[in-house]
Amino acid sequence: MCRKKCELVLLALFACAVTAQREDKTIIDPFTVRTPALVLATTSDPFPQSVEASTQDVNILGGERDLTIVCEQGADNLVLTTGVTQGQWSVATPNSASGYALMQYDGIDGSIQLRSTGLGGVDMTAGSADGIRALIQTDIDTEYTFTVYGMNGEVSSIQQDIPGTDTTSEYILPFSSFTGNTDFTRVGAVEILIEAFDNVDTFVSVFRTTGPVVSPSATPTPGASPLPSPAGGFTWYTFDDDDNGRSPCGDEPDRRTYWVSDDNIIYYYFYGFDRPQVLAESANSGAIVSMSALVAGIVAFFAL
């Protein structure tokens, strides 16, 4: 029983010690502001046929997203749709029709017509960002093309094949993998083009820049005043993102708390000596913890 308990504690400490490799830097579009569905019903008119809309919000890169759906070929009375709602951008194409959807960030202009310098030279490498992170799902194989325009006429792009699956997958697109000559520190416009092949249904739920974790300050910023610790004794230390310093089960007294600001932190407790020893930073899948805290936790456990 004691051995099993020891194994569980060591596993928990090891999970805490895993150094996160990447973190989100800048939200290009949170997809929280709606663009009502664009509905394109094909007619007997010549192709291509299209509809478009623009949506403004301060949280969108450049203050506006421009969106269009284009049908390049198909029979009459078929419907293609695209829109942004409930945190995702979706595209749906019927049988016997195909085209593409284009999302564009080029400042406030109310048009899908490209202004390649509309963002005025935004720095996409801010915060040590070195790429783009996207969460994407599609039911049928398709292709996404990400294009970044520079302020002096440069163009860089990358094409990402998206396999059909019933799960959402993460895609990391390093700036170094883009083909072209854009200076990512002075960007004038950004576009995503989705190939709306026959019968494709796809959506994007995250569109952000990403980069290596930046080491936090050695002095954590508490979200509330920590409880005083007894002199010379042991102290409970807690990693807690939303439980306000309480046990998640509500069956323990308040404990000394160091806070992190992410929704993806796993809740761990461990014993440690009362000294400045905890460094914590979240990054999508883990947290950084100083080795001194791990050693202290193990020593304290076996001292019981």
User: What is the predicted pLDDT for the residue at 230?
Assistant: 42
In the numeric block, which tokens belong to residue 219? Answer: 């002095």
User: What is the predicted pLDDT for the residue at 232?
Assistant: 44
Burial 104-138 (b: 16+ CB within 10 A, else e): bbbbeeeebebbbbbbeebebbebebbbbbbebbb
Question: 194, 186, 222: which is closest to 136 by C-alpha?
Answer: 194
Q: Rounded CA gap, 242 and 261, in Å?
A: 9
User: What is the predicted pLDDT for the residue at 216?
Assistant: 62
pLDDT in tens, 120-162: 999 999 999 999 999 999 999 999 999 999 999 999 999 999 9
User: What is the predicted pLDDT for the residue at 248?
Assistant: 52
User: What is the predicted pLDDT for the residue at 214?
Assistant: 86
Question: 152, 139, 141, 134: which is closest to 192 by C-alpha?
Answer: 134
Torsion angle defined by CA atoms of residues 39, 45, 49 and 50, in that order, rounded to the nearest 10 degrees: -50
Question: 111, 109, 102, 167: which is closest to 139 by C-alpha?
Answer: 167
DSSP states of 85-101: ETTEEEEE--TTEEEEE
pTM of full prediction above 0.75: no
User: What is the predicted pLDDT for the residue at 220?
Assistant: 39
Fold of 23-212: Jelly Rolls (2.60.120)
User: What is the predicted pLDDT for the residue at 250?
Assistant: 52
Q: Tell me how far CA of residue 25 lies from CA of 70, 114, 198, 215, 264, in angstroms.
A: 32, 25, 35, 14, 16
Strand partners, 144: 160, 194
User: What is the predicted pLDDT for the residue at 192?
Assistant: 98
Q: Rounded CA gap, 6 and 37, in Å?
A: 55
- Amino acid letter, residue 55: T
User: What is the predicted pLDDT for the residue at 293?
Assistant: 42
Cis peptide before 163 (omega within 30 of 0): no
Question: 219, 212, 148: which is closest to 185 by C-alpha?
Answer: 148
Positions in the chain short of pLDDT 50: 2, 4-19, 217-241, 245, 254-304
The CATH 2.60.120 domain(s) of the chain lie at 23-212
